[in-house]
Amino acid sequence: MTVADKVFTGSIPEFYDTYLVPLIFEMYAEDLAERVKAISPASVLETAAGSGVVPRALARHLNTDARYVVTDLNQPMLDHASGKQDDDSRIEWRQADALDLPFEDSSFDAVICQYGVMFYPDRVKGFSEAHRVLNDSGRYIFSVWDSIENNEFADVVTQAAGKVFPDNPPQFLPRTPHGYYDHDQIRDDLRRAGFTDISIETIEATSKAPSARHPAVAYCQGTPLRNEIEARDASLLDHVTDQAAAAIEERYGNGAVAAKICAHVVTALK
């Protein structure tokens, strides 16, 4: 992972929430909300909350006296997330580094993270922090994407961008969002952080969009792939987006499109 992989600034948060969230995140956010609802926690910490798709799904399921602390490393993403959420006295928005959480030991019944741990520069340290702030028998639930080959829109976009920059193809998507999917590695990292009771469930779904251009814009302009494209030649951002849209249309047809998407949901008990 590079430093630029963690930069969600400028127009990225708006494109991310408008295009990427309905494309790939909403369905999994609802699944995560149901998992948290089932354990009825009194206190929840979310790390790497991004544009706030999980809080929008989860808040309605929490008890009226619950405490829900929503954090992200990137203040622009956190600002965007809080601006999208209805006023709710149970929710606290706080900029925080998941590798150095500003909370006391044993502070939460549940720690959750949707598609954020792949961005941790030291995953064992991030997992250790989650373990530290969990109460005894607390639950850590997080999700990661499967390999890029099993997430078809992301794969097609990456290949299209590579054709525009054949000498230096952008690799953000396979490197970071789709770079941490090996079950054995995940289990080993969690054990090193102190977790022993670990389960991993693979969930395959279908990603749907109203047009081929929608996923092209989502990935090219709503993720740090945009940073990689602009670092190579900022004038080619729209061209890369057009090429990605054409590649998706060639593979999936005109009009509404649908493709395979796959993720792993990990649950670890303290």
How would you write the pLDDT of the chain (270 residues) with one tens digit per residue? 554 444 454 556 677 778 888 899 999 999 999 999 999 999 999 999 988 999 999 999 999 999 999 999 988 889 889 998 989 999 999 999 999 999 999 999 999 999 999 999 999 999 999 999 999 999 999 999 999 999 999 999 999 999 999 999 999 999 999 999 999 999 999 999 999 899 999 999 999 999 999 999 999 998 999 999 999 999 999 999 999 999 999 999 999 999 999 999 999 999
CATH fold label, 3-269: Rossmann fold (3.40.50)
Burial tier of 97 (Cβ tally within 10 Å: 0-12, 13-18, 19+): middle
Residue indicated by tokens 């961005």: 119
Q: What is the pTM of this model?
A: 0.92
Q: 3-class SS at 221? A: helix
Contact (Cβ atoms closer than 8 angstroms) between residue 45 and residue 112: yes
Q: Are 247 and 156 in contact (CB under 8 A)?
A: yes
Contact (CB, 8 A) for 243 and 214: no
CA 184 to each of CA 144, 191, 266, 268: distance values in angstroms, whole numbers, following the listed order: 14, 11, 12, 14
